[in-house]
Amino acid sequence: MTVEPILVMQGIRKSFPGVAALKNVQLRLFPGEVHALMGQNGAGKSTLIKVLTGVETPDGGEIRLKGELIQPTCVGEAQAIGISTVYQEINLCPNLSVAENIFIGRFPIRGPAIDWKTIERESQTALAALNIHIDVTLPLASFPVAIQQMVAIARALSTAAQVLILDEPTSSLDEDEVERLFQALRQLKQKGMAILFVTHFLDQTYAISDRITVLRNGEFVGEYAASALSRLDLINTMVGREIDEASYAAETAAQTGSVAADPYVSACGLGSTGTMRPIDLDIYQGQVLGLGGLLGSGRTETARMLFGIDHTDSGTIRVGGEAVKLNSPRKAVQHGIAFCPEDRKTEGIIAELSIRENIILALQARRGIFRYLPKRLQRTIADEYIQQLGIRTPDAEKPIGQLSGGNQQKALLARWLATDPKMLILDEPTRGIDIAAKLEIMELVKAQCRKGLAILFISSEMSEVLRVSDRIAVLRDRQKIGEIAGKDADEQSVFRMIAGAES
């Protein structure tokens, strides 16, 4: 079969001050194929996409669409020639209606007015194609993140694209929704669309892609047929060194530190009317308690109650055996509890502040305004954690917003480790992070746990929860339905538990 590629990128180079982000990278997209772009954080995936969609101008190389040289200079231009993109972070307006979001910037006009009827009808059709049936006149913010993501995809599809780029579209979707998205992608494939799919999930890569291009450190490593590249080979090409996932899992699961006799944090009947039904949790020092459950089962809500963010109206919390009232994050921090939130960008980092300031922030907050850490000490602390956690940055004074996702997450971890916490709540600590950084972060978590930290671990990847947890509390529909010891659990047993609760 000699199908001509619809889009060819060749010899693409792009440098930012101090770093060469792309060095002679190539990429070919074929009509009717899903092409996975793989690589660790900082491999250059995002930059390559930005070059393709006109957000960044390449320093060298050429892009050909159907044989013709193109040089998009802005997203609108790329869209006009048939390259549509759905970005990792949802780029929509939460206060506008779903229909407005889908048609924003290109409202059809009838006479002197915007043709709302057409907009609503076509929005409904576009979403129906993705098997989503919602009231498109409601504001976007009234829907869960997953639906918002589908709206973003519907928006990209409705622009009559030839090439669709999906930059980590699934990081906030649960399995059902991913499957729905994949169905839609398969339909598009059949219509001959070329799809570029960026993800960190190996399962998804293999479930949908036909072809895989791997980047490493801004360089092109190779293009492979998905069927001809085993998972292990894929990981090894991405990482550039041998990681045996299976043995890694065995190793970490076998290690259990010395577990304290009494729980550090013990929640009893903790609940909040309308948000979370009363829940009992015991979290021990030296142990990882995983929260298992599907999207919307109450994982994040549980974490927020324990950190004093959300109001609780029933139950008690004991910290170190003492009954306490955690009604603000500040209180929780004073009791040695730390929290890495799910949404790194809006709840974690302070983007324009330096890495140093971000790292010492929680420690300084606990010390109060007047016991100011001298700059020199701040620098020592920051440098120590940058080295210890392997945060890749030229120096600690760089704004944290300029780091890659994985490094931001490590800096947030550093922020809490600097406060010497007794318990750490990690809500999706590996979301949007590449495999190597994921493994690194999990290893850091494990190491802290062995040192006697109590950890509450939340992840939508069940395999990850199973890998690190000593015990797993299973949640369903905003209540706890049971607890399993980590060594007895596998995905099947957890899913059976979730399914069994229905009967």
Partner 1 sequence: MNRLPAPFLAGLRHRLFWPCVTLALLCLVNFYFNRGFFDIEIKNGALYGSVIDILNRAAPLMLVAMGMTLVIATRGIDISVGATVAISGAVVASMIGGSLVIQNGVQSYVSNVPMPLAILGALAVALLCGLWNGLLVAGAGMQPIIATLILMVAGRGIAQLITAGQIVTVYYEPFFFIGNGFLLGIPVSLYIVAVVLIALLLLIHRTALGLFIQAVGINPVAARFSGISARALVFWVYAFCAVTAGIAAMIITSNVKSADGNNAGLLLELDAILAVTLGGTSLAGGRFSIVGSLIGALIIQTLTYAIYSLGVPPEINMVVKALVVFAVCLIQSDALRAMLARHVLRTGEAA
Q: Does 346 bind partner 1 (CB under 8 A)?
A: yes
Q: Segment near partner 1 (CB under 8 A), from 70-78, 100-108, 349-357, 463-471?
A: 349-357
Provide the token pair at 425: 């709540």
Nearer Cβ to partner 1 (281/425): 425
* Ranges within 221-280 binding partner 1 (CB under 8 A): none
Sign of CA dihedral 168, 169, 172, 174: negative
Question: Could you tell me the smallest distance in angstroms from the CB atom of residue 352 to partner 1?
Answer: 5
CB neighbours of 478 closer than 8 A, spacing ≥ 6?
275, 276, 277, 296, 297, 298, 301
Contact with partner 1 (CB under 8 A) among 365, 380, 452, 461: 365
Q: Segment near partner 1 (CB under 8 A), from 180-188, 210-218, 368-376, 444-452?
A: 368-376
421: three-class secondary structure by DSSP: coil
Q: Segment near partner 1 (CB under 8 A), from 105-113, 203-211, 341-349, 477-485?
A: 341-349
352: three-class secondary structure by DSSP: coil
Question: Could you tell me the smallest distance in angstroms from the CB atom of residue 376 to partner 1?
Answer: 14
Contact with partner 1 (CB under 8 A) among 33, 301, 357, 470: 357
* Ranges within 271-330 binding partner 1 (CB under 8 A): 307, 309, 328-330
What's the CA gap between 234 and 90, in Å, rounded?
28
- Tell me which residue has tokens 């085993």: 230
Q: Does 369 bind partner 1 (CB under 8 A)?
A: yes
Within 10 A of 148 (CB to CB), how many other CB atoms are there? 19
Question: Could you tell me the smallest distance in angstroms from the CB atom of residue 367 to partner 1?
Answer: 8
Taking each helix axis as running N to C, give the angle between helix 231-239 and helix 435-450, from 0 to 180 degrees, rounded to the nearest 10: 90
Kindly state the number of chain residues that form the binding site for partner 1, as judged by CB under 8 A: 31
**Mask of contacts with partner 1, 389-428, x by CB under 8 A?**
--------------------------x-------------
Nearer Cβ to partner 1 (153/362): 362
∠ CA 185-187-188, nearest 5°, is 65
Provide the token pair at 342: 């799910």
Provide the token pair at 450: 């062995």
Contact with partner 1 (CB under 8 A) among 313, 352, 420, 491: 352
Provide the token pair at 317: 């919390």
Measure Cα distances from 419 to 307, 362, 364 in Å: 15, 7, 9
Question: Could you tell me the smallest distance in angstroms from the CB atom of residue 371 to partner 1?
Answer: 8
Q: Does 341 bind partner 1 (CB under 8 A)?
A: yes
Question: Could you tell me the smallest distance in angstroms from the CB atom of residue 346 to partner 1?
Answer: 6
194: three-class secondary structure by DSSP: strand
Q: Does 145 bind partner 1 (CB under 8 A)?
A: no
Contact with partner 1 (CB under 8 A) among 136, 152, 214, 349: 349
Nearer Cβ to partner 1 (21/349): 349
Q: Does 339 bind partner 1 (CB under 8 A)?
A: yes
Q: Does 29 bind partner 1 (CB under 8 A)?
A: no
What's the CA gap between 90 and 99, in Å, rounded?
16
Provide the token pair at 354: 């330096």
Question: Could you tell me the smallest distance in angstroms from the CB atom of residue 465 to partner 1?
Answer: 22
Q: Does 372 bind partner 1 (CB under 8 A)?
A: yes
Q: Select from 55, 7, 35 the least CA-distant residue to 161.
A: 7
Helix (H) / strand (E) element for 362: namely helix 355-367
Q: Does 117 bind partner 1 (CB under 8 A)?
A: no
Question: Could you tell me the smallest distance in angstroms from the CB atom of residue 359 to partner 1?
Answer: 11
What's the CA gap between 346 and 292, in Å, rounded?
24
* Ranges within 163-182 binding partner 1 (CB under 8 A): none
| Exposure string over 473-484, b if 16+ CB within 10 A, otherwise e | bbbbebebbebb
What's the CA gap between 239 and 400, in Å, rounded?
24
Question: Could you tell me the smallest distance in angstroms from the CB atom of residue 26 to partner 1?
Answer: 31
Strands 34-38 and 211-216: parallel
Q: Segment near partner 1 (CB under 8 A), from 222-230, 259-267, 333-341, 403-411?
A: 333-341
∠ CA 399-405-411, nearest 5°, is 60
Nearer Cβ to partner 1 (368/394): 368
- Tell me which residue has tokens 């599907």: 294
Nearer Cβ to partner 1 (42/336): 336
Question: Could you tell me the smallest distance in angstroms from the CB atom of residue 310 to partner 1?
Answer: 12
Residue 182, Cα to own-chain centre: how many angstroms?
A: 18
Q: Select from 100, 94, 170, 190 the least CA-distant residue to 136.
A: 100
Q: Does 18 bind partner 1 (CB under 8 A)?
A: no
Q: Does 458 bind partner 1 (CB under 8 A)?
A: no
Q: Does 362 bind partner 1 (CB under 8 A)?
A: yes
Provide the token pair at 406: 């994985």
Measure Cα distances from 472 to 284, 321, 343, 495 in Å: 13, 22, 22, 12
Question: Could you tell me the smallest distance in angstroms from the CB atom of residue 413 to partner 1?
Answer: 13
Q: Segment near partner 1 (CB under 8 A), from 53-61, 259-267, 346-354, 476-484?
A: 346-354
Residues in contact with partner 1 by CB under 8 A are 307, 309, 328-330, 332-334, 339, 341, 346-353, 357, 361-362, 364-370, 372-373, 415
